[in-house]
Every structure is written in structure tokens, then in C-alpha cells.
Structure 1
Amino acid sequence: MTVRGVLGRTFASLAVRNFRLFAGGQLVSAAGTWMMVIAQDWLVLSLTSDSPGALGLVTALQFSPLLLLTLYAGGLADRYDKRRLLIAANLVSSGSAAALAVLVLADRVQLWHVYAFALVLGTVNAVEVPARLSFVSELVGAELLPNASALSAAYFNIARVVGPAAAGLLVAWWGTGPVMLVNAVSFGATVAGLRLIRPAELHRAAHRPARAAVRDGVRHLLARRDLLPPMALVAVTGMIGFNFQLTLPLLAKTVFRTDAAAFGLLTTALAAGSLVAAFVTTARRGRPGLRLVWGTALAFGLLQALAGLAPAFGAALLMLFCVGFASVFFTQAANHHIQLGSDPDFRGRIMALYTLVFQGTTPAGALLTGAVSAAYGVRWAMVAAGVVCAAAALAVPAVSRRLPLTPGTAPVANPAPREETGRSAANS
């Protein structure tokens, strides 16, 4: 295959105008969000004399609404216009980020302000995440969904490379306030992209359900032997393994005794590995098998344990690059396996369940990781997390074989979407 053919295959979804607009806005906004993560974490550590418990509480507050509201939000995504939901969510996020930035710039910020911002942002994310994940299929259709999902992971990780690196320098030069202000402005790019999208070109279901009961989505999941084990594995790895927002700043400050710029480098190394994995998965055209899902989860767990044992800063950068690669390869495999295997009528609720178990379990994981880090150090918190994730991955094949197959719910290799383009649906 020629270079042009490879590039065309890799970036196939960008041929769709609506997806280009969406991806461009998301890239800018995600970079701002990652800058905010660095600034917020550094602010908390500065206000609390490097307290792991305070950092864990901020993370828990940010993700608690996902646990409480995401299933309801998945029903909203199935019933209502996802584009409008996303516009509203980004406007609220922008306003709350601007308010916190003003407090920091005015030197009036207190720890409870950061807690309040984390709670508001988590509430907005509970609505935004399932709507965004399921909106990608409306932008490109089922055939291009794996490619579009992989490119979404790519731009997210480009932002995770650029954002923390820039934030580390800006925090060192100007402090956390200006960085937070940049984040507030960055949401405007997503809003602009969503406003420019042509609703008539969306791949929407022929009709939205009048009711989208959460329990129906749960029943659909429980009845599927091919969906339930990977969803359970996502729950374990999400709660135990994906606490880098807590472990990386602690690794930078308490283990390697470095500054904000070095903290940004650790986050950038993780993101760089994630970015490479995202581009690798753009070649995927079908639904990945369960073996790939559990195999990549096993690799992720083992690599994280090794990263926790890295003897020097340079070794930690290398290991975090590998952890980042494994983390995205696993999450993309699980996402594609679950999303392409679910009925389109339930996709919003299934992706809400995915969000719930992957991100909604973070509060418990963050508090647990904070407690282990405080008691034994962040190194052993990372080692323990990696061992638990690897053990969960090893258990999946045996559990999957023992689950009964409900009649009429045989696994689908690559389900045909029951949808039509928005040209025949009402414009929003």
C-alpha cells in the first residue's frame, strides 16, 4: 500500500466534514483541560503542603457525579439531541473554569473553592461524556466508528502531550491562574465546532425512543455474555489502575523531588505512549475480540507495576510511555468491543454504563490510592494497582466461559446499524 493509501486509511474519518469540525474543537478544548489538570493539581499541593489526601479528595469530588448521574445522562443521550447537550455542557464548563481562574488571579482562592469547582465539573462531565462517546457514531456512521474513535483518542492524547508540557512551563513562569483562564477560553472551540456541524448530515436513528429507561440498558448488558466480562474488566482497571492524576504529581514531588515542569514531563511521557497507541488503532475496521481486550489489560497492569519501581526519573519517563501505550490500546479495544457489540437503540445507555464503570469508580480508587500512597508511598500504590489489574485480566477468560448465554443475545461480530442519515430526520 502506498504512503497516500496508508494516510487515507489512517485519517479516513477526517474526510467527513462534521467530524473534522468536532475533532478540531475537541483538540483545542482537551489541550486546555489537560493544562487545567496540571494547574489544579499543583494548586492543591501548594495549598495543602503536598497532601495526598487532599489531592485524592479533589479527584473523588470530580468523579463522584459520574457515579451518581451518568446512567441518567445516558438516557438523555438516547432521547435528546446530543449536539445540543454537548454545547450546553461546554458552556457551563467554561463558566466554572473562568470563575476559579478569577479567584486565583485575585489571590482569593481557598481549598474549598477547588473542591466546589471539581464537583461542578464532575456534574457537567456526567452529562457530557456519554453524549460525546455516542455522538461519534452519529458523526461518521458505524463503518467508520472504530477509525473515528481511534482518532478521537489520538487528538485527546495530542492534547495530553501538548497541554501538560505547556502548563508545566506556564505554571513555573506565571502561576496557576493564567493557565486556568486559558482552559476557560478553550471550551469556545468545541462550542464553535458543534454550532457549525450540519445536522442534516448526521447518522441518526430513524426515531428517538420516547422513553429510555436505565434498567433496559442494564438488562441489555447483563444479557450479553460478550459484553459483560470486558465491562467488568474496565471497571476494575478504571478504579484501580487509572489514577495518574493522583500518582504522577506525587511521583514528581515526593519521589523525584522535581518542579512543575518535570511533573508536566511525566504526564507528557504517559500521553506520548497513548498517542502512539491511538494512531496504531486507527487501522482497526472491525470489532476486536475479547482475547485482545484482556491481553492488553494484562500488559497494562504489569507495565504500571514496573513503572512504580522505576529507579530514576529517566527510567520513569520510559516506563510511563509504555504504560500510556498499553492503557490506550486496552481502552480502545474495550470501547470498540462494547460499542460495536451493542444495539444502536441502547448505545447511549451502554456507553453511559461504560463511563460509569470506567470513570465513575474513580472516587473510590482515588481515595484508596491516596490512602495507600500516604501509608506506604506512591511507588507501592502504583505497584499494587498494576498487580490488581493484571490479576483481573487473567480472570476474564475463565469467567467469560462460565457465563450463560441468554437466548436471542448471541455475540455479534460487527452489528449492522439500525440507523439512517439525518437527511430524512428532523433537523436540530
Structure 2
Amino acid sequence: MLALSRSRLAHAGPSFRRLLLSEALTLLAAMVGYLAMPWWIAQAGGGRDLAIYGFVLALVRLAATPLLAPLAERCDPRRLLVAGLAVQGAATLVLAALAGGGRYALAPLLLVSLLQVLADAVVQPVAATRVADLVPAERLPDALALQKSAQACGRVAGPALAGLLLAGPGIAATLACGAVLLALAAVAAAGIPPADASAALRRGWWQDLRGGLRAKWAIPLERGWTLVNFLAWIFLFPALTLLVPLKVAALGLSGAWLGACEVALSLGVLLGALGGAGWLIARVGRFRCRLGAAIAEGLTLAVAGLTGSPLLLVAAFLCMGYANSVLSLVGQTHRLLGIPREYRVRFAAANLASSQIASALGPALAGLALLHWPVQAVYAGFGLAAAGCASAFALVPRAREFLELDHAVATDWYRRQYPAAFDAAAAEP
């Protein structure tokens, strides 16, 4: 698998390799920040400040992701990536200075963190869609697998790096390390070739935003795909976040087992990205892989909820990571190719916003359920509910037909099959 990944990387081209490096460094910095900031706030401000911090940032992220999407199609994506990463790095450096000086106050922390959120709302959709412009269509599956590998490596290394720094030099040094990583990510992104903004997007900002959402909703395949993902994520998100430490605590295990679950999840994603997903797809087919992996995600989490064995719990997260890797890789390639280039970022931003809404609803629903049932029952129930929602993908119109297309045929398929959706979007008043 490692030899296959090296071969893929060698054929990907220098522009894509720079994007890959930039994204790996960005995710590594993000994981460092995700641990450092809650740790700082919990220590200095307590649970109330932490709850306010999380709620405000989630609310702003939810609004910013779709609202800033047209920016990525009006400006050079390279400049947006570099500028967004530079803003994130500068904001992280300010936070490091505040931590180093012992100046804790929630209001300035929120203001600086909001800059990070706004910059990230620009960076994420661009990074998710830029790969389709940097590699040929026939190499896109390999490129996305490499991208997934880089993300998994960042998720594995980030918490370990943050833990070492928090236990040693402290919060300020941890945040400063994150700022350095973001600066390096910006330097790597600066080496990506520029791309022209779409000539079709020269109307008002609001018209572009509404036009993209209208086109997405008018395509039955895209509408159904997004809805299934939204419903499944309501149950998957808390099962991967909120319920994990509660399950570990219910088993009477130490925090090391919580870390083991997180590492197993990332290793499972890495296993799929390094070739495991491609091996399965070649033998089962794209549609059955997509459907089966989505159902398997929920079922493995149900096993995690029911088991009393620590080893089986970790194994369930390993399988969950593998299923997630297969799920994303089998559908992401065709979906990127099928969407017209000038609509990719807006569609991606809408998908991110949908996931963020589900990420807010899921923990709230889990909290209500925990008032009535033990964590084992809630965990298993959420896993089964996620599997049930995911099985609805079999009912999404033309999903099987679309996923069984060759990559060349899938390119711009949405426009060819649903021209009226994009004509109506272009005519949006």
C-alpha cells in the first residue's frame, strides 16, 4: 500500500503535492488548536466560558460557510487559500501572545477566534474542490485518496503533538506551534498555480448565492444525497464525539483508551486511503460500496455502544474509520466531477453548512436521550439510527446510474442531465 501511495504521489504533479502538503499542515495545526483552546478556556474560565465559546463559534461558522462561498468563485483560489491561512496563522499567534502574557478574557478570545472561523469558512470549500482542477479526471480517485491520507495523518499526529506541548512548554507554546504550521501551509499553498475566477459569476453576491442553492436543490440526485447525509450525520456526529468519552467512562477505563479510540479511527481512515478503499471498490462496485460503507458506519458504532470489551471498542472505531474512508472516496470523485466547475465551491459550502446544522442537532438530541436512557442504549440506538438513515441512499434517484459511470462520462454530468437547473440558476433575479 505504501508503494502504491508513493507511485500515486509521484504521478500527481507538483501543484497537487503542494496542495497536499498545505492541507496536511493545516489539519495538523487545526488539531493542535482544537485541543489547546478548550484546555485553556476550561482551566482559566471554566465550563460556562467554554460553552459560550463553542456556541458562538458554531453559530458564526454555520452562517459564514454558505455566505462566503461566492467569494471563492470570484477570486483566484490560490490567493484565497494563502490569505485565509495567513489570517488563521496571525490570529493563532495573537492567541499565543495572550496566553503567554496570562491575559485571559473571553471577549478578546472570541473576537480573535471569529477571525479564524471566517478565514476557515473560505479555506475549507476551496481546499475541498481545488484538487479537481489540479489533476486529470482519470487521476482524481488517486488524488482524493492521497488527500484523505494526509488528513488522517494530521488527525493522528495533531493530538499527539498537542499533548506533548501542553504537558511540557504549555498553552502559549502549543498555540505558537500552530501558528508556525499555518504559516508553512500558506507558503506551500503559494506554490499552487493561479486560476481565473469564473467568467459566469459577475452578478450580485446574493444572486450568485441563491442561484447555487437553487441549482443544488433542483437536481434530485444532489438533493437526495445531501438529505441522506444530513440525517445520518445527526446520529453519527454525537456517536463520534460526545458519546465516546461517556462510553469510556461508563466502562471504567482511563483517558488513554479515549485516545486509543481516536487513533484507531484515524488509522482506519488511513487504511482505506492507502489502498483499502480502492481494493474494495474494484471488487464490489461503487454503488454497493457507497451504500454498504454508509450502513457499516452506523452498525460499527452500535457495536461500540453495546460492547463491554475495551479491545472490541477500539476495533469498532478502526472499522468505522475504514468505512468512512470508503464512503467518502467512492462518492466524492464522481460528485466533484459531476458538478460544473463554477458551482463546485457553492455546492461544497452548502454541504458543509448542512453538516454543521446536523452537528448542532445531534448533540442536543443525544443530551435529551441521555436524560432517559444509559449511554450504552443511547450509543447503540444512535448507531442503528445512522445505519437506517444511510440505507435510504438506495432510494436516491439515479444514484446507482451515476456512480457506475466512467470518470470521463461523469464529468459535467449534472449540467448535461439537468440543464434547466443551471439555466434557472443563471437567470436568478
What interval of TM-score do these two structures reach, taking the shorter chain for normalisation?
Answer: 0.7 to 0.9
Which of the pair is proportionally richer in helix? 2
Asked if 2 retains the 8 angstrom alpha-carbon contact of 1:13 and 1:140, the reply is: no
CA distance in 2, matches of 1:271, 1:360: 24
Asked if 2 retains the 8 angstrom alpha-carbon contact of 1:369 and 1:381, the reply is: yes
Asked if 1 retains the 8 angstrom alpha-carbon contact of 2:339 and 2:411, the reply is: no
Shift of 1:379: 4.5
Asked if 2 retains the 8 angstrom alpha-carbon contact of 1:308 and 1:380, the reply is: yes
Match of 2:152 in 1: 157
User: Equivalent of 1:37, from 34, 47, 71?
Assistant: 34
With over 3 angstroms needed to count, the CA separation of the structure-2 counterparts of 1:65 and 1:186, relative to structure 1, is same
CA distance in 2, matches of 1:299, 1:278: 17
With over 3 angstroms needed to count, the CA separation of the structure-2 counterparts of 1:178 and 1:47, relative to structure 1, is same
Match of 1:65 in 2: 60
Structure 1 gap ranges (5+): 419-428
Asked if 1 retains the 8 angstrom alpha-carbon contact of 2:129 and 2:345, the reply is: yes
Match of 1:135 in 2: 130
Shift of 1:350: 1.4
Note the alpha carbon deviations across 1:109-145, whole angstroms, 9 max, x for none: 3556665555443322222211111211122243322
Match of 2:201 in 1: 209
Alignment of 1:175-324 (within 5 A): 175-199=170-194, 207=199, 209-211=201-203, 213-243=208-238, 244-251=240-247, 256=252, 258-259=254-255, 263-280=258-275, 281=277, 289-324=286-321
Shift of 1:398: 3.2
Provide the alpha-carbon RMSD of the alignment. 3.6
Asked if 2 retains the 8 angstrom alpha-carbon contact of 1:157 and 1:275, the reply is: yes
| Aligned: 1:123 with 2:118 | yes
Where 1:197 maps in the other structure, the secondary structure is coil
CA distance in 2, matches of 1:169, 1:313: 25
CA distance in 2, matches of 1:183, 1:290: 39
With over 3 angstroms needed to count, the CA separation of the structure-2 counterparts of 1:119 and 1:154, relative to structure 1, is same
CA distance in 1, matches of 2:68, 2:297: 30
Higher relative contact order (CA 8 A, sep 6+): 1
Where 2:220 maps in the other structure, the secondary structure is coil
Structure 2 gap ranges (5+): 414-429
With over 3 angstroms needed to count, the CA separation of the structure-2 counterparts of 1:321 and 1:216, relative to structure 1, is same
Where 1:226 maps in the other structure, the secondary structure is helix
Amino acid at match of 2:202: A
Amino acid at match of 1:142: A
Where 1:134 maps in the other structure, the secondary structure is helix
Note the alpha carbon deviations across 1:31-88, whole angstroms, 9 max, x for none: 1211222233444554577x5x876665444433342122232222222211111111
Note the alpha carbon deviations across 1:318-348, whole angstroms, 9 max, x for none: 2211112222222333323422221223212
With over 3 angstroms needed to count, the CA separation of the structure-2 counterparts of 1:269 and 1:107, relative to structure 1, is farther
CA distance in 1, matches of 2:171, 2:117: 20
| Aligned: 1:385 with 2:389 | no
Asked if 2 retains the 8 angstrom alpha-carbon contact of 1:238 and 1:359, the reply is: no
Number of residue pairs matched by the alignment = 402
CA distance in 2, matches of 1:168, 1:75: 38
Shift of 1:228: 2.2
Amino acid at match of 2:260: L
TM-score (norm 1): 0.80
TM-score (norm 2): 0.80
Identity level (%): 25
Match of 2:425 in 1: none
Shift of 1:382: 3.3
